[in-house]
Amino acid sequence: MKIREALLSEANELSEFALHSKATWNYSEEFILACKEDLTITEEYIKNNFVYVLENDNTKIGFFSFLHNDKALDFLYIHPRYKGKGYGKIMWKFVIE
């Protein structure tokens, strides 16, 4: 298992992670669609912020990011199929260190 910097080419995939992860919290479809823009990760976002991916055997599990200017946590999402397996704790430990 490793945590690495996100690649620019992963922007769309990370956006999908965020959207699908948010959808598992029983929000309405209307609300999820309204959140889509706010949950979109662009190449520009990756260039200008600190974006990290958690992988296990080259499989993306989740990602998190810090805003460059504020040094504040902005995103922390896990792919729905990996929720409840301790991966969030692994990412959170990295975040607080």
What confidence score (pLDDT) does residue 8 get? 98
| Pair 2, 91: CB distance under 8 Å | no
Look at residue 67 in the predicted model and tell me its pLDDT: 94
Domain coverage including residue 22: 2-96
* Alpha carbons 82 and 78: distance in angstroms, whole number: 7
Domain CATH for 22 = 3.40.630.30
pLDDT digits (tens, 9 = 90+) for 39-80: 999 999 999 999 999 999 999 999 999 998 887 899 999 998
Q: How many domains does the chain have?
A: 1
For residue 54, what pLDDT is reported?
97
For residues 16 and 2, what is the distance between their CA atoms, to the nearest angstrom?
21
Mean pLDDT over residues 9-36, rounded?
91
When comparing pLDDT for 48 and 23, which is higher? 48
pLDDT at 70: 85
Give me the DSSP letters along 9-44: GGHHHHHHHHHHHHHTT---HHHHHHHTTTT---HH
